[in-house]
């Protein structure tokens, strides 16, 4: 199997069986974003306590890349500190823009690096991360 086919497989798997799909009963932030270019919609619920992303859920609809990226993102940031999630987000953004290479330490997120070849789909892949960025900082303000 080629690397590209493998990435495709990982994305389709997350699209078909998304992780952390649903909503949280008492989120510290809930962010809704859409990508009109593609018709993707994401609503992200976050529970941030003492600077740690204790729980995260998403719901929405759209293309396989937007939904798979949201599933992978929630899987990757759950249990991490806001600072760790910020660092991971920057790395994924750089990878999607082709400015940094992926590494096996990214886990399933590595599969998104294939998206860098399709500039119109980068917005799809980043939608969930933009929601995360807004959400963690909104949660921070609520605590302060
Ligand atoms: Zn899309």
CATH number at residue 69: 3.90.1010.10
Ligand 1 geometric centre to CA of 127 (Å): 9
Report if residue 144 sits inside a domain.
no
**pLDDT attached to residue 117:** 86
Report if residue 143 sits inside a domain.
no
pTM of the entire predicted model: 0.92
Least Cα distance to 45 among 140, 119, 136, 142 occurs for 136
Ligand 1 geometric centre to CA of 64 (Å): 7
Contact predicate 40/127, CB 8 Å:
yes
Which residues sit with Cβ closer than 5 angstroms to ligand 1, an ion? 38, 40, 63, 66, 124
Ligand 1 geometric centre to CA of 67 (Å): 8
Instruction: Decide if pLDDT at 93 tops 60.
Output: yes
Task: Record the tokens describing residue 29, joined without a space.
Answer: 């932030």
Domain extent, residue 118, equals 3-138
**pLDDT attached to residue 66:** 97
Task: Record the tokens describing residue 45, joined without a space.
Answer: 């619920």
């Amino acid at each position: 199997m080629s690397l590209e086919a493998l990435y495709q497989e990982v994305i389709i798997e997350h699209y078909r069986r998304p992780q952390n799909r649903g909503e949280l009963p008492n989120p510290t932030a809930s962010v809704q974003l859409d990508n009109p270019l593609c018709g993707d919609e994401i609503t992200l619920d976050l529970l941030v306590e003492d600077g740690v992303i204790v729980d995260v859920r998403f719901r929405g609809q759209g293309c396989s890349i937007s939904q798979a990226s949201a599933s992978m993102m929630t899987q990757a940031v759950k249990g991490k500190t806001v600072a760790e999630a910020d660092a991971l987000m920057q790395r994924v953004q750089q990878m999607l823009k082709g400015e940094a290479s992926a590494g096996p330490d990214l886990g399933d997120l590595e599969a998104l690096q294939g998206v860098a070849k399709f500039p119109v789909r980068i917005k799809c892949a980043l939608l969930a991360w933009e929601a995360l960025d807004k959400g963690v900082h909104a949660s921070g303000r609520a605590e302060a």
